[in-house]
Amino acid sequence: TRWCRMKGVEPLPPSPEMIGLYLADLASTPPALSVSTIERRLSGLAWNYAQRGITLDRRERHIASVLAGIKRRHGRPPVQKEAILPEDILAMVATLPHDLRGLRDRAMLLLGYAGGLRRSEIVSLDCGKDDTPDSGGWVEILEKGALLTLNAKTGWREVEIGRGSSDQTCPVQALTQWLHFAKIDFGPVFVSTSRDGTRALDRRLSDKHVARLI
pLDDT digit string, tens, across residues 159-214? 888 888 788 889 999 999 999 999 999 999 999 999 888 899 999 999 998 888 87
Alpha-carbon torsion (89, 186, 3, 81), positive or negative: negative
> In this predicted model, what pLDDT tens digit does every residue of 75-124 receive, in sequence order?
544 444 556 777 778 888 888 888 999 999 999 999 998 888 889 999 99
What are the structural domains, with CATH classification, of the chain?
2-74 (1.10.150.130), 86-213 (1.10.443.10)
Share of the chain above pLDDT 90, in %: 29
pTM comes to 0.66
Spatial contact of 174 and 181, defined as CB atoms under 8 Å apart: no
Angstrom distances, CA of residue 50 to CA of 110, 122, 162: 13, 21, 11
Amino acid code (one letter) for 170:
C
